Amino acid sequence: MDFHELEAFLVLADNLHFARAASQIHLSPSALSRLLVRLEEELGVSLFERDTRQVSLTSEGESFLSFARESIHRREDLLLKLGERDDNIRGILRVYASVTACYSILPPFVEALAIEHPGLRLSVETGDPADAADAIRESRAELALDAIPPKGFRDLECHSVRTTPLVFVASRSGAYGNLKLAVEPSAIQQQTSSVTSSTQAEALEISLQSIPVVLPKSGLARDRFDRWVRIHDVKPIIAAETAGNEAVLALARLGLGLGLVPRLVLENSPFAEGLILYDAGPEFGDYDIGFIQKSAVSGTDAARKLRTEITRIIRKTYPKG
């Protein structure tokens, strides 16, 4: 076996879906399947249970998963140590981020990293921001972009980059495109509103009693929505729950209901022109977006060096964060 096979195995173990895994490593599903068969033949065990509906790790696959991750980490650690002689960091930096974060927040960091450490290659996994912290804890990524809770994460280091309010959106041409809610001025639709905060909260409370909503399944935005409905004793009509803010926007654009997303997502979305924006109000609070990683004092010397350098570049690139 070689590192290419180990990396392919890890991607499949993370996705448990041949087409998605193959796309991430730039192989066809059939090529990935052949690679896996070779690996299983060499080991003499089945690593995955697979049928037409699902893919899952066998008990042998779970054991091999630990070996594969440790092998990849040791290789990356070695590459980092080899780069110490000239202060350049080499190897692979695995990053977890949403699609929106990849084109709205990540580019300046990637450019700075390429200039200062051209030997450090990026591997990016995209997914639901709600899974970012677990990606770091499970060592699937060394760096992630996530919504940072007010008190941060107890076990992770956080580096805030920017804040953005949570807003409701709806299809402009749909049934919920002309509600009597306070509309926040934005680059998407320039409007003004003299509605007071108390009137706005009352209007929102009345609207959410009868209008369906599209929500993320988990994460900070969902936590704040659930808290809001408990405080106001509202029983919402949930039209859909989905993973990722981009999916919430897409379903709201179809007219399913009011979608709750960070305004940053809307401002960078191809669906923006077809959506109308409603202010969710101060009770929902701002959405603090930033980088997270493990503590700089944990792990090997090379891992600590990498985290310290990444922190320096983040603070240099986003001085107002």
How many domains is the chain partitioned into structurally? 2
CATH number at residue 273: 3.40.190.290
Instruction: Let me know if residue 252 belongs to a domain.
Output: yes
Instruction: Let me know if residue 253 belongs to a domain.
Output: yes
- Same domain? For 76 and 171 the reply is no
Distance CA 162, CA 72 (A): 33
Domain, as residue range, for 30 = 1-82
Domain edge (last residue) among 82, 116, 133: 82
Instruction: Let me know if residue 122 belongs to a domain.
Output: no
Q: pLDDT tens track of the chain, all 321 residues?
A: 778 788 889 888 988 888 888 887 777 888 888 889 989 999 999 999 887 778 899 999 999 998 988 887 777 666 655 555 556 677 778 899 988 899 889 999 999 999 988 888 888 888 888 889 888 887 778 899 998 988 888 889 999 999 999 999 999 899 998 887 644 444 334 433 333 445 556 777 778 888 999 999 988 899 999 999 999 898 999 999 998 888 999 999 999 999 999 998 888 787 788 898 888 888 888 889 999 998 766 666 667 788 888 999 999 999 876
Distance CA 4, CA 54 (A): 24
Instruction: Let me know if residue 130 belongs to a domain.
Output: no
- Same domain? For 171 and 72 the reply is no
For 155, what's the count of Cα atoms within 13 Å in the CB-facing half-sphere?
5
Instruction: Let me know if residue 111 belongs to a domain.
Output: no
- Same domain? For 73 and 180 the reply is no
Distance CA 57, CA 67 (A): 14
pTM confidence score: 0.66
Instruction: Let me know if residue 134 belongs to a domain.
Output: no
Distance CA 174, CA 160 (A): 36
Instruction: Let me know if residue 201 belongs to a domain.
Output: yes
Query: Given this model, what pLDDT does residue 193 score?
Result: 37
- Same domain? For 166 and 77 the reply is no
Domain edge (last residue) among 37, 62, 82: 82
Query: Given this model, what pLDDT does residue 79 score?
Result: 61
CATH number at residue 24: 1.10.10.10
Q: What is the DSSP string of 42-94?
A: HHTS--EEE-SS-EEE-HHHHHHHHHHHHHHHHHHHHHHHHGGGGT---EEEE
- Same domain? For 179 and 271 the reply is yes
Instruction: Let me know if residue 320 belongs to a domain.
Output: no
Domain edge (last residue) among 82, 106, 127: 82
